[in-house]
């Protein structure tokens, strides 16, 4: 019984340390989610072929709205208006949290929205639309380019769009447009994020670029420069990047370095990221996920293991022995009592060894262990390995 209790505590504390994202399936399921919008405790998601779902408890429970048979690929909230962009039927708005809807733009594919003051901009397939009455009516803005628009953002008096021909910017309310592509290797720009004086641009296979001069020049962020970036979210010095088939990454230094944040995120393809209150939401090809923002932005032990290599097991899997290295002179991550313990999957401690923290690489004989999964614990650090 003591072993069972210890194992439950061990598993719970391990899951607490390493599981960050939670999937919100109650009433919604596991289908493709394109977009998320949050206001207070109210959350809304746009889905594939099932329209918009709503929640009054930040996603713990979901119910379908009366817009229930469209592909809703973009959402935004302006005042008391919930605005939904579809893949072929234009724009719908609701002023009662989805109980009823009006089709205020009847044709076109709407990929994204941006709000600036009393203006709402909508990025279509090849067109930009603007509304000055919370989405009740729309006026088309002609970009005069042959392109496919993927995202739209506003920065001061600038309207910025990402597209198949790079970044286009208008400084005169959309009357004229110019391409701003100095520094880009990949002009297939898929998503944008604006934060203070910074504009981030994600590409479809060429990583992320940053401009600090209103798009006049761009610098490539090289650490994740081969990923297909599908969505960006920036605030302060922090940037989140959602990818196609490669999960979510986080940077706390404006994109200079990145850490993958995929614990609990079971679907690797992220369509959209947004913040609501203390939470961050991820729309993915397999449903919607939520995490405490502070859990993802704080540097935890697991991130430091991945980033600084302070705890390595080699070889892994292993048959006769393992070597543990990388923890020298890192007492900030380890208890004063520096001991090594190995647990099997039912919580039994099958090896206990006292070591000198400054011993360098430690070699352990494991040929006596049965084949299977094991947890190796050093101080407060836990890592898994496989015995062959």
CA distances, 296 to each of 21, 101, 121, 250, 300 (Å): 9, 36, 30, 8, 9
Question: What's phi and psi for 10, nearest 5 deg?
Answer: -60, -50
Question: What's phi and psi for 340, nearest 5 deg?
Answer: -115, 130
Does a cis peptide bond (omega within 30 degrees of 0) precede residue 315? yes
Using one digit for the tens of pLDDT, what is the confidence trace for 307-347? 444 468 888 788 888 888 766 544 444 444 567 888 887 77
Nearest to 170 by CA among 139, 209, 135, 128: 128
Dmax of the chain from CA atoms? 75
State which H helix or E strand residue 284 sits in.
Answer: strand 279-284
Whole-model pTM: value is 0.74
The pLDDT score that the predictor gives to residue 303 is 45
Structure tokens at 172: 């005169």
The pLDDT score that the predictor gives to residue 316 is 79
What is the per-residue burial (b if ≥16 Cβ within 10 Å, else e) of 31-48? Answer: ebbbbbbbeeebbbbbbb
179: β partners = 168
Residues (pLDDT < 50) of the chain are 1-19, 299-310, 329-336
Sign of CA dihedral 379, 381, 384, 388: negative
- In angstroms, what is the C-alpha Rg of the chain? 24
The residues spanned by each domain of the chain are 20-299, 303-387
d(CA 85, CA 152): 13
Structure tokens at 134: 């919370």
| Domain covering 20-299, topology | Methylamine Dehydrogenase; Chain H (2.130.10)
When the candidates are 3.20.20.10, 3.40.309.10, 2.60.40.3080, 3.40.50.300, the CATH number that belongs to 303-387 is 2.60.40.3080
Using one digit for the tens of pLDDT, what is the confidence trace for 27-39? 999 999 999 999 9
**For residues 213 and 206, is the Cβ–Cβ distance under 8 A?**
no
CA distances, 32 to each of 42, 49, 239 (Å): 20, 9, 24
The pLDDT score that the predictor gives to residue 11 is 43
Sign of CA dihedral 58, 31, 234, 177: negative
């Amino acid at each position: 019984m003591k072993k069972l209790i210890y194992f439950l505590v061990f598993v719970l504390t391990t899951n607490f340390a390493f599981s960050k994202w939670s999937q919100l399936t109650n009433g919604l399921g596991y289908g493709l989610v394109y977009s998320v919008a949050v206001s207070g405790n109210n959350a809304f998601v746009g889905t594939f072929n099932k329209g918009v779902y709503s929640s009054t408890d930040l996603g713990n429970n979901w119910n379908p709205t009366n817009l229930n048979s469209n592909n809703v690929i973009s959402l935004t909230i302006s005042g008391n208006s919930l605005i939904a962009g579809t893949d072929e039927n234009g724009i719908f708005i609701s002023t009662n949290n989805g109980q009823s809807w009006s089709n205020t733009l009847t044709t076109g594919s709407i990929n994204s929205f941006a709000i600036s003051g009393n203006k709402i901009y909508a990025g279509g397939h090849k067109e930009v639309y603007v509304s000055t009455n919370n989405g009740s009516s729309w006026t088309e803005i002609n970009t005069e380019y042959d392109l496919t628009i993927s995202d739209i953002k506003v920065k001061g008096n600038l309207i910025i769009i990402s597209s198949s021909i790079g970044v286009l910017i208008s400084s005169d309310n959309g009357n004229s447009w110019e391409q701003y592509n100095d520094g880009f290797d990949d002009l297939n720009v898929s998503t944008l994020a604006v934060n203070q004086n910074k504009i981030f641009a994600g590409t479809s296979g060429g990583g992320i670029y940053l401009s600090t001069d209103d798009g006049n020049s761009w610098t490539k962020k090289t650490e994740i420069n081969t990923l297909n970036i599908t969505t960006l979210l920036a605030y302060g010095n922090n940037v989140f990047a959602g990818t196609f088939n490669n999960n979510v990454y986080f940077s706390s230094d404006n994109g200079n370095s990145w850490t993958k944040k995929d614990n609990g995120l079971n679907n690797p393809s992220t369509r959209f990221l947004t913040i609501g209150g203390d939470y961050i939401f991820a729309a993915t090809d397999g449903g919607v996920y939520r995490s405490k923002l502070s859990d993802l932005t704080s540097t935890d032990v697991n991130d430091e293991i991945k980033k600084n290599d302070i705890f390595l097991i080699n070889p892994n899997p292993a048959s006769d022995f393992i070597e543990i290295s990388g923890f020298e002179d890192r007492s900030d991550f380890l208890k004063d009592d520096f001991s090594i313990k190995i647990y099997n999957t039912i919580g039994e401690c099958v090896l206990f060894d006292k070591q000198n923290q400054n011993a360098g690489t430690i070699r352990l004989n494991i040929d006596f262990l049965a084949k299977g999964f094991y947890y190796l614990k050093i101080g407060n650090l836990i890592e898994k390995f496989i015995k062959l």
